Amino acid sequence: DGGITQSPKYLFRKEGQNVTLSCEQNLNHDAMYWYRQDPGQGLRLIYYSQIVNDFQKGDIAEGYSVSREKKESFPLTVTSAQKNPTAFYLCASRPTGGAASGANVLTFGAGSRLTVL
Amino acid sequence: KNEVEQSPQNLTAQEGEFITINCSYSVGISALHWLQQHPGGGIVSLFMLSSGKKKHGRLIATINIQEKHSSLHITASHPRDSAVYICAVSRTGNQFYFGTGTSLTVIP
Instruction: Work out the pLDDT band at A55, boundaries 50, 70, 90.
Output: very high
Percent of chain A with pLDDT over 70: 93
Chain B residues with CB under 8 Å of A36 CB are none
Q: Taking CB atoms and an 8 Å cutoff, what residues of chain B touch A48?
A: 94
How confident is the model over B3-29, as pLDDT tens digits? 999 999 999 999 999 999 999 999 899
**Cβ of B30 and A106 within 8 Å?**
no
Average confidence (pLDDT) over A68-85 = 94
Question: Do A106 and B96 make contact, defined as CB atoms within 8 angstroms?
Answer: yes
- In this prediction, residue A16 carries a pLDDT of 86
Mean pLDDT of chain B: 94
Within 10 angstroms of residue B62's Cβ, the number of other Cβ atoms is 18
Chain A, chain B: beta-carbon pairs less than 8 Å apart: 51
Give tens-digit pLDDT for B48-66: 999 999 999 999 999 999 9
Whether the pLDDT of residue A59 is over 90: the answer is yes
A76 falls in which pLDDT band (50, 70, 90)? very high
Contacts of B33 in chain A (CB under 8 A): 104-106
Q: A108, B33: Cβ pair inside 8 Å?
A: no
- Provide, as residue numbers in chain A, all residues whose Cβ is less than 8 Å from the Cβ of B102: none
Interface contact A111-B42, CB threshold 8 A:
yes
**Alpha-carbon distance B24 to A25, whole Å?**
32
Count Cβ atoms below 10 Å from residue A59 Cβ, excluding itself. Answer: 10
Please give the pLDDT value at position B72.
Answer: 98
Beta bridge partners, A16, equal none
Q: Is the predicted pLDDT of residue B44 greater than 70, yes or no?
A: yes
Which of B31, B100, B101 faces A104 most closely, judged by CB atoms?
B31
Tell me whether residues A48 and B94 touch, CB distance under 8 A: yes
Q: How far is A95 from chain B (nearest CA, A)?
A: 11
Instruction: Measure Cα distances from B91 to A103, A107, B11, B66 in Å.
Output: 11, 16, 29, 16
On whether the CB atoms of residues B54 and B61 are closer than 8 A, the answer is yes
A58 and A105 Cβ atoms separated by less than 8 Å = no
